[in-house]
Structures are given as structure tokens and as C-alpha cells.
Structure 1
Amino acid sequence: MPDDQTLRFATQAIHAGAAPDPATGARVQPIYFTNGFVFDSTEQAADIFAMRRTGFSYSRGSNPTVAALERRIAALEGAKAAVAVASGQSAVMLVLMTLMRSGESYVASPRLFGGSLGLMRRLDGRYDLQPQFAKGLAPEDFEAAITPRTRAIVCESIVNPCATVMDIEGIAAVARRHGLPLVIDNTLASPALIRPIEHGADIVVHSTSKFLGGSGQTIGGIICDAGRFDWNRPDRYNLINEPWPDYEGLVVRERFPDMPFAVACRLFGLRDLGPGLSPMNAFLTLTGIETLPLRMERHCANARAVAAYLKDHPKVDWVSYPGLPGQPGEALVKRYVPQGPGSIFTFALKGGEPAAIKFIMGLDLISHLVNIGEIKSLAIHPASTTHRQLRPEERAAACVGPETVRLSIGLESVEDLIADIEQALAKLD
């Protein structure tokens, strides 16, 4: 097979990380439903457990089906390595816990998925991993929040749910000036729209439950290590720079210089904490990725048409979709995502919260469902669900006030989607 990194994106989506099974000739990646693997010798077993040799031992730490998914997403993101985990929430948690010890902090975007914000506050309260939220979304806002205790910068490529596109290169320049890794949650863009590593990111995470899987069948997450950040800082990043006594004094940065963060996440995250991904979910996600480039093109086209319809509707107060002309953030869309800023956006109804609730309940084709990034179109009231833990002023800043509806536009015929929205709006007073 050709080297994955030499292939173009659509070819990588189909072929990267997998090959015909040498034992059977099966062309589709096999699903390895086994919790353990037989060793050739006690020496081999000892070497694998001590990280002196690569190989499979127990599926919590690695599994051939899961490894194929890791290789494919690493290729799509241009990363050196990837670690698949049980959910996107697990991916964010492992990144933060691998980077920091109690008492250390990181700068976070003030606009993030509600679940990420809730996790950050819980980790702060229980484990003293301290988020310092930037006051705005511009690079200078992130720089102003950096302190001597800061160990990373964290933001999304496209903000959930308001579709704001972040200035990744500008924020990456800030991170480089201060010797910090930039962590990007790329869930809403997928690598089909944005490859954050090309713009300076050091770590990329996904909830694979969204666009990568695409069909609403699976839960999963992944962490991608660009492999180029200089982790050689004796005063920080102890899981990378300090010896592991239970691995015979292994120093991850020295043994695995091309992918130290990914290895640290695997040792601490999967071997110790244990949120591994099931091989069935890995297989379904691999299958979904094969059509990712085609799906994202249709997602963006449909979302642009629906957002334009809503923007001109007399019962709609505003639409937050910077892919439309004249919207805030239009220049960043043209710079980073000329195909369009994905298919998730918010809009507000002039009738306030009662109108938002009535609209959602009046939809027939579009499902009232909390997920995003599926081939089916979905709607939710974020103020009472996904972002309910935010304070009122935070919800307003994130464009998820009580009058707001979040749409995830799927692959249906756009005429049918607009007809469903039209009939639901017609039911409002």
C-alpha cells in the first residue's frame, strides 16, 4: 500500500490505516472482538508491558481495529499518532489531565461546547486543574490570560453551537511565543474542512460520534499528536519529562521523541484510567469516514441554504452562521473554511423561549435530538439542555439564550428541510 501521508484526502479517508487482511484476504477492516492477545513468549509479553516493544496485549490499551482507526484519523489530520478513547468527553479529559498537575492552569476559549465547560469546572473544583477563560475570541485575548502557571491553550476550530470560526494561526502564534501547546477541538469542522495542525495546532481532539462517524450509531473520541511540540521543559509536563517508576524509569520524551504526548495519553489514559474504545465503535467510525469528504460538502451546502432562508424570515430575530455574506466572522470563514463553516448553527426567534420550544416541537422531518453532525437533520434547545449549566450571561455570549434553537443540518434534500422549517414557523403566533 502507498504511504498514507502521500495520498490525497479523499483517498486517505478510504484507505489510510487499513489494508487487506493478510490472514484471510478480507478487504474490509476486521473487527477484533477479543479482550486479550496470545504472546509468543514471556520475553515478548514483558517487553510489550515495559514499552520496549510494540504489540497488542489487552484491548483496553490497544486493539487492531481501534489501531486502524487511530492510523486513519492521524493521516487525515496530518498527525504523527492518535489515541482513540470511549468518547469526545474522555478525549478532552485525558488531554487536560495528561498536560497538567494540580495547581497548574490553561487558557480556554470563553465559547466552548457546554459539556467541555462543565468538565473543566469539575476538574477545577475536584483536582485544581484551573481554566483561565479568555475574555474574547481574538488571539490577544488568549495572550492576556496567560500566567506563569499556564500549561496550554484550548479552543475549538469552529465553535459549538454558534459556528464562529477561530483564528487558529493567530492563537498558535501566541502559543509559540509562550512555549505552550495549542489544543484544538476539531469536532465541528472535521479534517475535511480544517486541518488545525497545518495552522499551528499541536494537539487535536474529536468527538468521533459526530461527523467522523456520521450516522448517529457510535460514541467515541480521539486525540491526535502533531509530534512537533518541544516538550523538553523539566519544570512541567511531568508525564512526558519525568521517569515512570512502574516502567523501569521510562522517560516518554526520550523513548518516543516523535509522539511523546500520544504515548503519555495511552499509558496514563488507557492503561491507568481505562476509557478505551470498543472495536465495534471503531469499525463503524472507520466505515463512516470513508464518505466524510462527500458528506461535508453536502452538509455545508444544505446549511448555507437553510441559514439564508431563516435569516430572511420575519419570525426570526437573528442567525449565527458566518458562512452568509455580511455576518460577523465572514473573513475568517473565507480564510479557513472556504467550503463553509460546517452545518451546525444557532438562530433566535422573535417570540422568545416559548416560540423556540413550540418551533422544535412543531418539526416533523427534523428530529429533536441532542447529537450533532449526523446525516439526519437535528434540532435542540441548548439553553435547557446542552448549555444549561452556563450562567445566563455566558449563554447570551455563546448565542444560546432562551430564544435560541441549534440546528444540525443533515444530508436530506434541502427543499424538504426548508419545507419542514416553514411549516413549523407557520405554527408560531
Structure 2
Amino acid sequence: LFANTLKQLGIEVRFADPKDPENFRKLTDDKTRAYYAETLPNPKLKAFPIEEVASIGKEYNIPLVMDNTASPITCNPIKHGAAIVVHSLTKYIGGHGTSIGGVIIDSGLFDWTLDPKRQPLLNDPDPSYWGISFGKAVPEVLGVPIAYTVRARFVLLRDLGSAISPTNSFHFIQGLETLPLRYKVHQENTEKVANFLNTRSEITNVIYPGFHKNAEDISRTKKYLEKGNGPLVGFELKGGKEAGQQFIDNLK
């Protein structure tokens, strides 16, 4: 999506290494519209420095959008400064593989009118809605600056038609009711699997937030994954790529 599809639509995406949050500042210019990141990105599973990058964004009036799909219970990105949080509902929130969908959560804490040139779609008059400026009109009517999600609903949903079906919505609501219980067990099982993999001689490296050795990674894990190390684990086999392919082919 970022490397190819958006480029074809005329949108430039620059990739920053989050190991040093200042890399985001180095790649920022007058045309930068947003920072986007995953809380617990695959495959390295190193917690993203949310607060540090969000703080840089605030200096330039740039919102931080966090994909929190992998850590819906253990991390609250809005608490650490994220303006927008997105989830793939299909994963842990739905939990049963029955539906496809996503959700956008607006923190209501980002002022989209502070830099009209950086956020023109939310500040310029919208000809399809009688010339209103969403950035100004939404807070006046609703009392909170959630222009991002309101415009997504009124304009993009209307034009692109990406509406979730009632049946899928029902499935996700059902899944949400048991998310805390399921996610707790997911994390417990993942920790057991990680510890087991760590004893195997065929494995050269187990990738798991609880096993990070770098001081910065350990610190970020404790800070941002407050209620557990998450439900993801990876590992590397002796023999590299060929061993990995053989392992996958032998799965039943």
C-alpha cells in the first residue's frame, strides 16, 4: 500500500526507522500530512516510540496515526499522544475469522485547524457540502475536533462506498464482548510458546517483546505494552531461508 499503491495515486510515503524518533523529523517537510506507524510491528516486534514521535508531530502540527491491531488491550496509543488509532477488526477484536472490517478512532485531541496549509482537506471549503470547512464546522456543532472521522464518514464513505455490512458489525460487537478474556489467554499462550521455542536447538533466535536485549527496546516494551507482551511471536531457524521453506512445507 505505502510503497506502491499510494505512489500510483500521487502520494509520497517516506519510511523512517523508529529506532531513533528523530528520523521522523529529518523526513518532515511542508508537505508532510501525517505520521503513520504500528504499535507492535511485524516481524521485529519492537514497541513503537509513540510519545516521542507524537511530540515531534505536535511541533509541526502533524497527527500521529497508530495501527493498534496487534495490541488492543495492552496498549492505549491515545494515552501516549496518538491523534488517530486504527484497527483491523478482523484480527483480535473480531477474533473468530468470520468477518472483514476495520475501525478508525479519533482521539478528539488534535486541532486540525492549526495549520490549514498542512491539512487542506479539513480546512478548505468542501464544495460537496455547501462550502463548509470540516475543521471549523465539526467542533462548532459537536463540541470536539473530530473532523477527521466526520469527513471520512461524510465524504469518503459516501464516495467510495466502503461501508461495513450489518452482519459483520454484529459479529465484531459479539467479538468485542469477549476481547479482554481472549486477549489475556492469547498473551499467556504466546509467552509459553516463546519460552518453548527458546529451548529448541534448531532455532537461532526467538522474536518476542519479552526477550529483547537492547535497553531501549526493553524500556519501550515496558512503557507501551503495559498489560502484557502481546500475542505475537516469531523465530529464525538454523539453515536460513531454505530451512524455513522446508518447515512450512512440512506443516500439517
Same fold by TM-score, threshold 0.5 exceeded? yes
Tell me what 2:15 maps to.
133
Q: Contact conserved, 1:300 with 1:339, CA < 8 A, in 2?
A: no
- Matched AA of 1:225: D
Q: Contact conserved, 2:65 with 2:82, CA < 8 A, in 1?
A: yes
Query: Shift of residue 325 of structure 1?
Result: 6.4
Tell me what 1:300 maps to.
187
- Distance (Å, rounded) in 1 between the aligned partners of 2:187 and 2:44: 15
Query: Shift of residue 239 of structure 1?
Result: 2.2
- Distance (Å, rounded) in 2 between the aligned partners of 1:194 and 1:182: 15
Per the normalisation by structure 2, the TM-score is 0.91
1:60-100 CA-partner distances (Å, limit 9, x unpaired)? xxxxxxxxxxxxxxxxxxxxxxxxxxxxxxxxxxxxxxxxx
Q: Based on CA coordinates, which of the two structures has the bigger radius of gyration?
A: 1
- Distance (Å, rounded) in 2 between the aligned partners of 1:177 and 1:206: 26
- Distance (Å, rounded) in 2 between the aligned partners of 1:157 and 1:135: 14
Tell me what 2:171 maps to.
284
Tell me what 1:159 maps to.
41
Query: Shift of residue 120 of structure 1?
Result: 1.2
Q: How does 1:14-53 map to 2 (within 5 A)?
A: none
Q: How does 1:234-383 map to 2 (within 5 A)?
A: 234-257=116-139, 258=144, 259-324=146-211, 326=213, 329-364=217-252
Gaps of 5+ in 1: 1-118, 365-429
- Matched AA of 2:126: W
| Structure 2 residue matching 1:234: 3-state secondary structure | coil
- Distance (Å, rounded) in 2 between the aligned partners of 1:128 and 1:246: 22
Q: Contact conserved, 1:252 with 1:264, CA < 8 A, in 2?
A: yes
- Distance (Å, rounded) in 2 between the aligned partners of 1:363 and 1:341: 26
| Structure 1 residue matching 2:41: 3-state secondary structure | coil
Residues 1:228 and 2:116 are matched in the alignment: no
Residues 1:150 and 2:32 are matched in the alignment: yes
Distance 1:273 1:256, change over 3 A: same
Tell me what 1:213 maps to.
94
Tell me what 2:79 maps to.
198
Query: Shift of residue 361 of structure 1?
Result: 3.5
- Matched AA of 1:154: Y
Distance 1:234 1:354, change over 3 A: closer
| Structure 1 residue matching 2:149: 3-state secondary structure | helix
Gaps of 5+ in 2: none
- Distance (Å, rounded) in 1 between the aligned partners of 2:2 and 2:154: 22
- Distance (Å, rounded) in 2 between the aligned partners of 1:264 and 1:164: 33
- Distance (Å, rounded) in 2 between the aligned partners of 1:324 and 1:193: 17
Query: Shift of residue 136 of structure 1?
Result: 4.1
**Pairing partner for 2:58 from 176, 179, 187:** 176
Q: Contact conserved, 2:75 with 2:226, CA < 8 A, in 1?
A: no
Tell me what 1:75 maps to.
none
Distance 1:135 1:158, change over 3 A: closer
Q: Contact conserved, 1:160 with 1:188, CA < 8 A, in 2?
A: no
Give the % identical residues. 38
- Distance (Å, rounded) in 2 between the aligned partners of 1:137 and 1:151: 21
Structure 1 consecutive aligned stretches of length 4 or more whose deviation exceeds 6 Å: none
RMSD, matched Cα: 1.7
Q: How does 1:67-146 map to 2 (within 5 A)?
A: 119-146=1-28
| Structure 2 residue matching 1:132: 3-state secondary structure | coil
| Structure 2 residue matching 1:342: 3-state secondary structure | coil
- Distance (Å, rounded) in 1 between the aligned partners of 2:9 and 2:91: 29
- Matched AA of 1:274: G
Query: Shift of residue 273 of structure 1?
Result: 1.1
Per the normalisation by structure 1, the TM-score is 0.55
**Pairing partner for 2:70 from 185, 188, 191:** 188
| Structure 1 residue matching 2:33: 3-state secondary structure | strand
| Structure 1 residue matching 2:163: 3-state secondary structure | coil
1:31-75 CA-partner distances (Å, limit 9, x unpaired)? xxxxxxxxxxxxxxxxxxxxxxxxxxxxxxxxxxxxxxxxxxxxx
Q: Contact conserved, 1:349 with 1:356, CA < 8 A, in 2?
A: yes
Range that drifts further, 296-305 or 196-205: 296-305
